[in-house]
Chain A
Amino acid sequence: QKEVEQNSGPLSVPEGAIASLNCTYSDRGSQSFFWYRQYSGKSPELIMFIYSNGDKEDGRFTAQLNKASQYVSLLIRDSQPSDSATYLCAVTGAGNMLTFGGGTRLMVKP
């Protein structure tokens, strides 16, 4: 059974700090990796995706993928209170079926 694991948190960081969110997955055949942000009562919003080993940067966000270690991470630089949300890691194999982790709740304190 494919599994995606995340620390549920909450992860608390001060405003302006770097938030580091981690995710491990069990299926070595996983091909695509996604990070979604979900505010309470809202639907998930795609913030980053990565397909190959290494780093991918987009504004304040950096996704890191290590397929050998089956590990994906998301770094948020200069964290803002508006970044406070639950961050969901998701992976796909063939097709578009997303397997989600349970999410990490991030709290950015002013």
Chain B
Amino acid sequence: KAGVTQTPRYLIKTRGQQVTLSCSPISGHRSVSWYQQTPGQGLQFLFEYFSETQRNKGNFPGRFSGRQFSNSRSEMNVSTLELGDSALYLCASSLAMNTEAFFGQGTRLTVV
């Protein structure tokens, strides 16, 4: 059974640019959550989608957005990149509400 797939694995962007990250959940999983991990702040919740609806949103500026498609694949977008957006972005897949979450390998974003 394939795991959670995130693409790309690595990205280098310039300040002011925008970026789109992709996540394909485990087959059959309908919930996708996104997290940002930095050395200083640890793992922080960005948002969660379930059946194409955003169910929860973390405390991040509006530059961070996401969506989920009918096949449960999800994308997150960060506009007007700042140096502080450099982080490991992780996607987690869950079968249903309040069930175990399995993480993808992450996308490491570097903003220069």
Residues of A within 8 A of B (CB): 31-32, 34, 36, 42-46, 49, 88, 90, 92, 94-103
Contacts and interface: CB of A to CB of B under 8 A. Distances in A.
Given A43-B90, A43-B106, A44-B90, A96 B42 contact: no
A95 B33 CA distance: 10
B38 to A, nearest CB: 12
B82 to A, nearest CB: 23
A46 B43 contact: no
A92 B56 CA distance: 12
26 contacts: A31-B98, A34-B101, A36-B103, A43-B103, A43-B106, A44-B90, A46-B101, A88-B43, A94-B98, A95-B50, A95-B56, A96-B31, A96-B50, A96-B94, A96-B97, A96-B99, A96-B101, A97-B33, A97-B45, A97-B56, A98-B35, A98-B43, A98-B92, A100-B35, A100-B44, A103-B42
Given A100-B42, A103-B42, A95 B55 contact: yes
Given A34-B100, A46-B102, A95-B48, 20 more contacts: A36-B103, A43-B88, A43-B104, A43-B106, A44-B103, A46-B100, A49-B100, A88-B43, A94-B98, A95-B55, A95-B97, A95-B98, A97-B48, A97-B56, A98-B33, A99-B45, A100-B35, A100-B42, A100-B43, A103-B42
Taking residues whose C-beta sits less than 8 angstroms from the other chain, chain B's interface range is 20 to 34
Contacts of B97: 94-96
Most buried by A among B35, B100, B101, B104: B101
Interface of B: 31, 33, 35, 42-45, 48, 50, 55-56, 58, 88, 90, 92, 94, 97-106
